[in-house]
Amino acid sequence: MKHTIEHIHAHEMLDSRGNPTIKVSILLKDGTVGSASVPSGASTGIHEALELRDENPKRYRGKGVLKAVRNVNERIAPIIRGKNVFEQRSIDDLMRLLDGTENKHKLGANAILGVSLACAHAGAKAKKMPLYQYIRAVYDLHYTNDRYTLPYPTMNIMNGGVHAGWAIDLQECMIIPQQKQFKERLRCGSEVFHALGGLLKKKGFSTLVGDEGGYAAKLKSNEEALKMIMQAITTAGYKPGRDVKLGMDPASSEFYNEKTDRYVMKADKKVLTAEGMIKMYQGWAKKYPLVMIEDGLAQDDWENWIKLTKVMGKMTTLVGDDLFVTNVERLQKGIEMHVGNALLVKVNQIGTLTEAIDAILLAQAHGYKINVSHRSGETEDTTIADLAVAVNAEHIKTGSLSRSERLAKYNRLLEIEEELA
């Protein structure tokens, strides 16, 4: 068969932080080649699938991925060579069975995912389909009138936490442009981003950027970031709340002290209980058009997540990232406990495209919104842009309006919008 997999090759490459990651290419019998590269997170949840590193301190400070590369070339390649590339679910299942562990620590989620995504790209090329169309077809996904919708971008224009040397505690302060067309959402985001840069410069703050391309200014408090963004929206000629809404990812597991059961917010010089965190969010939601909070509480603070959802869930999109880790078991637990109302989808948290799709379908079946996300260590790979369109995700999260590895995803969405038009 001309669509069988003939050759698989993985090699080491560098991500946006200059750390090694893995790239995989799949060659089909008819000469079609599909390739994909794998991102890497900094604030990783403890329940994520394992990203396999070499741990050799003499090479790339222990961050090399030659073990993962060998696992693709020597262990995965023999079991999928000769398989029909269109049998995506079967291929992903074979790799999961070969690894045989819950968190994919034998082969590495990065190794498995590289192959999974490369197969999808090869299949799409073989079918002469754009990737978003192929994903919908290969998983037999059906949405109202089979329409495609473009996601609303959640743009991280102010970086903090581990993404920006703890300039502030909140890892991401985001704007969510509300225009009808994606190209106008992108224009709005760009104009607000540059307006914010001008304001920071005028006030004497640094305009250097963090891992995800947002400004990394060391502000006096976390709320000051929200105030500055509100001012930037107005300066750019937009109306807060109508034209642009706000979101945030506190990534609260990063400043949660498990021993004391407290959240230590250094920028505010505060130590808060979960109840104190919820009250803080409620206060901000009253003062600002804050409509989305991701990881508002720690990844295993289930009981307080229930409280957060009860008091804010009707008016606010409460996104589970470290909480759900794109995992159907953790998501099912959240659904049963009435925790959160949106799923952050990071394909490298779970390790195969199939498992990510299964998590998306479970979330959508229970009315949870979908936000397809990048990682802080990214590549030029644009798979997540197509994935977001394939599943009609409400949102996409791929960073700020600078750094080419972020803009590549936005630019791919511009192309898709043109195609669909």
Burial 336-345 (b: 16+ CB within 10 A, else e): eeebbbbbbb
Residues whose CB is less than 8 angstroms from the CB of residue 276 and which lie 6 or more positions away in sequence, other chains included:
263, 270
Residue range 349-369: mean pLDDT, rounded: 98
Confidence of residue 43 (pLDDT cuts 50, 70, 90): low
E strands, 376-421, are 395-397
Residue with tokens 């410069």: 201
Residue 222 Cα distances to 83, 178, 199, angstroms: 52, 24, 17
Give residue 363's pLDDT: 98
Lowest-confidence pick of 5-9, 158-162, 314-318: 158-162
- Say whether pLDDT at 389 is over 80: yes
pLDDT at residue 167, as a whole number:
86
Q: What are phi and psi of 315, to 5 degrees?
A: -110, -15
Q: What is the pTM of this model?
A: 0.97
**Dist CA 285 CA 283 (whole Å):** 5
What average pLDDT does the structure give for the chain? 96
> What would the two tokens of residue 25 be?
């290419």
Question: Which 3 state secondary structure label does DSSP give 313?
Answer: coil
Q: Grade residue 275 by pLDDT with cuts at 50, 70 and 90.
A: very high
pLDDT digits 0-9 by tens, 177-204: 999 999 999 999 999 999 999 999 999 9
Residues belonging to the active site: 212, 346
Q: Is the per-residue pLDDT at 304 higher than 70?
A: yes
pLDDT of residue 32: 98
pLDDT of residue 164: 73
Q: Tell me the average pLDDT across 264-291.
A: 97
In the chain the first and final C-alpha atoms are separated, in Å, by: 35
3-state secondary structure at position 273: coil
Q: What is the DSSP letter of 61?
A: G
In sign, the C-alpha dihedral spanning 356, 357, 359, 363 is positive
pLDDT digits (tens, 9 = 90+) for 74-107: 999 999 999 999 999 999 999 999 999 999 999 9
What is the distance between the alpha carbons of residues 166 and 198, in angstroms, rounded to a whole number?
22
